[in-house]
């Protein structure tokens, strides 16, 4: 079953929310390389979404799927690359 345009837009919002959750988690550190890769993919997503908006109704569902795929990769980079700090590693000064 193929997703509708609205379902794809909802998926984009859900993935963006998941990425935000990863980034604002207090006990998480990210490698600079991972952040750079994720930022590049997210910038490409913003560019593609802007292009989709400017072209109006002539968009194909595959163009939305490309944005979703970039968001998934960005999420995976952040999720798999993060390093959790433990309470034992935190110094209390």
Closest CA to 74 of 25, 15, 21: 15
pLDDT in tens, 5-40: 889 889 999 999 999 988 888 777 888 999 999 999
Handedness of CA 19, 21, 23, 28 (dihedral sign): negative
> In the structure, what pLDDT confidence band is assigned to residue 47 with cuts at 50, 70 and 90?
very high
Specify whether the CB–CB gap between 59 and 4 falls below 8 A. no
């Amino acid at each position: 079953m193929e997703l509708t345009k609205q379902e794809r837009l909802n998926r984009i919002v859900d993935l963006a929310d998941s990425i935000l959750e990863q980034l604002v988690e207090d006990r998480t550190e990210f490698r600079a390389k991972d952040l750079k890769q994720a930022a590049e993919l997210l910038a490409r997503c913003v560019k593609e979404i802007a292009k989709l908006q400017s072209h109006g109704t002539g968009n194909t569902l595959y163009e939305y799927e490309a944005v979703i795929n970039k968001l998934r990769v960005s999420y995976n980079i952040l999720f798999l690359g993060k390093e959790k700090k433990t309470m034992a590693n935190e110094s209390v000064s």
